[in-house]
Amino acid sequence: MKAHHPRRVLTAAAIAGLTAVVATGCGSAPENDAKDSKAATAESAADFGGMEKLVEAAEKEGKLNVYALAPDWANYGEMIAAFEKKYDIDVNNEDPGGSSQGALNAAAKRKGQSRAVDALDIGTSYMQEAKKQDLLAPYKVEGWDDIPDAQKQSDASFMNNYGGFMSIGCDAKAVKNCPETFKDLLKPEYKNKVALNGDPTESGSALAAVIAAALANGGSLDDVQPGLDFFQELKKKGNFVPAKSTLATIQQGETPISIDWDYLNLGYGEKLKPKGVDWQVAVPSDGLYSRYYNQAVNKHAPHPAAARLWVEFLYSPEGQNIWLKGFSRPALLDAMKKDGTADKAAAAKIPEVDGTPQEPTEAQEAKAKEKVVQGWGKAVS
């Protein structure tokens, strides 16, 4: 795998700028009894009497429900396996190929049900909606103080988890000249080749692609319309492929060019190389956009102790290094570099990025999402 960097792309120092800025359903069963338990109201491990007591309570529950955590997404396959190996808890990962919207629905529509999602990993605008719907339980992990203030909510409702940059992945064997910018994607040589990782009206990563395209085409964080116009033109030229880009579609040649997070594209490259696919990755200089995904505990989690232990694991040095191995930039990276707990080999593989990435405030991302939800169908119909 070879990574192209039109403007050599970033390390931890630039990552400090990735701030935490973040559909509910109707009808629910009666609340389950766990809501009133000690575990369901605990706001830190100390409320359990320490980590040992938290582990004991979580293993007594023995289960954890998560949603839409694709094994190839930021190394979630290893993350789940490591958690299950370390603790006597079975992880039920529902719909691994699902979206942020699906995960939010699983939290909102299943209150009181044993199959409700315990913890959420979703895009910022979706997490904002979850907070608005009062679905989040405040919880501070042991590494809370080391998470920059800009990357966590003061009320501990949610916090940044891992992040990256919007990028363009390309099968160099199937595409003669791999694109390096959004402008390049409009060239006729890319007909029936350009795809997204999902539907921007439901997927945080696809929404980010539209925002990045807006930045590359005269728009701004306050004006995402140029991004919709870009994809409309991409569709008219016949370059846009409506199929969702995945590891499988890339290998099968269905989506030879994919606009996605750099950690996903870089991870695909590692997995595809043994299969004969030369997957190259570029971070477009004309749409330098960065974002974090967020983590939170569901207020109505059927396994409240396991949910909190899961979040503790994600923010432990072990969990943060698993993110690193998946080419993403964990929220505690700077602190771990200072105290020596960061995996140096994994950190060295994170591509450096030149330039200042743009990132929205919570209000800007929410407004952009609303605009995309309203205009995407018309743009690519």
The answer to whether residue 41 is domain-embedded is yes
The answer to whether residue 353 is domain-embedded is no
pLDDT attached to residue 20? 34
Closest CA to 211 of 178, 180, 165, 250: 165
Average pLDDT of 247-276? Answer: 96
* Residue-wise pLDDT tens digits, 333-364: 999 999 999 999 999 999 888 888 899 988 99
Task: Tell me how far CA of residue 202 lies from CA of 10, 120, 161, 181, 229, in angstroms.
Answer: 28, 15, 20, 24, 19
Provide the residue count of the chain: 381
Does 300 share its domain with 155? yes
Does 172 share its domain with 256? yes
pLDDT attached to residue 16? 39
Longest dimension (CA), the chain: 63
Does 306 share its domain with 238? no
Determine the Cα–Cα distance for residues 122 and 102; give it in Å rounded to an integer.
10
Band of residue 2 on the pLDDT scale cut at 50, 70, 90:
very low
Please provide the average confidence, as pLDDT, over all residues in the chain: 91
* Residue-wise pLDDT tens digits, 266-275: 999 999 999 9
CA dihedral 54, 58, 64, 70 (to 10 degrees): 50
Does 38 share its domain with 183? no
Determine the Cα–Cα distance for residues 138 and 157; give it in Å rounded to an integer.
4
Which residue has better confidence, 152 or 15?
152
Does 193 share its domain with 153? no
Closest CA to 301 of 73, 75, 155, 92: 92
Q: Is the pLDDT of residue 314 over 50?
A: yes
Closest CA to 145 of 136, 137, 154: 154
Q: SS3 of 194, please?
A: strand
How many CA atoms, within 13 angstroms, populate the side-chain half-sphere of residue 188? 0
The answer to whether residue 354 is domain-embedded is no
Q: Supply the DSSP symbol for 107.
A: H
Where would I find the H helices in the chain? 12-15, 38-41, 51-61, 76-86, 100-108, 124-132, 204-216, 225-236, 247-251, 262-272, 304-314, 317-325, 333-339, 344-348, 362-380
Q: Percent of the chain beyond pLDDT 90?
A: 87
pLDDT attached to residue 63? 98
Determine the Cα–Cα distance for residues 306 and 88; give it in Å rounded to an integer.
10
Does 232 share its domain with 158? no
Average pLDDT of 195-212? Answer: 96
DSSP 272-305: HGGGT--EEEE--GGG-BEEEEEEEEETT-SSHH
Does 284 share its domain with 332? no
Query: What CATH number is attached to the domain comprising 300?
Result: 3.40.190.10
Does 88 share its domain with 231? no
User: 169 near 280, Cβ under 8 Å?
Assistant: yes
Does 371 share its domain with 229? yes
Q: Report the predicted TM-score, pTM, of the whole model to 2 decimal places.
A: 0.86
User: 164 near 327, Cβ under 8 Å?
Assistant: yes
Does 184 share its domain with 127? no
* Residue-wise pLDDT tens digits, 135-173: 999 999 999 999 999 999 999 999 999 999 999 999 999
Q: How many helices (H) and strands (E) does the chain have?
A: 15, 12
Average pLDDT of 28-52? Answer: 76
pLDDT attached to residue 4? 43
pLDDT attached to residue 23? 34
Number of domains in the chain: 2
Closest CA to 200 of 74, 363, 370: 370
The answer to whether residue 210 is domain-embedded is yes
Does 46 share its domain with 158? yes
Does 153 share its domain with 265? no
Q: Is the pLDDT of residue 98 over 50?
A: yes
pLDDT attached to residue 5? 42
The answer to whether residue 320 is domain-embedded is yes
pLDDT attached to residue 29? 37
Domain that holds residue 135: 19-162+293-348
pLDDT attached to residue 161? 94
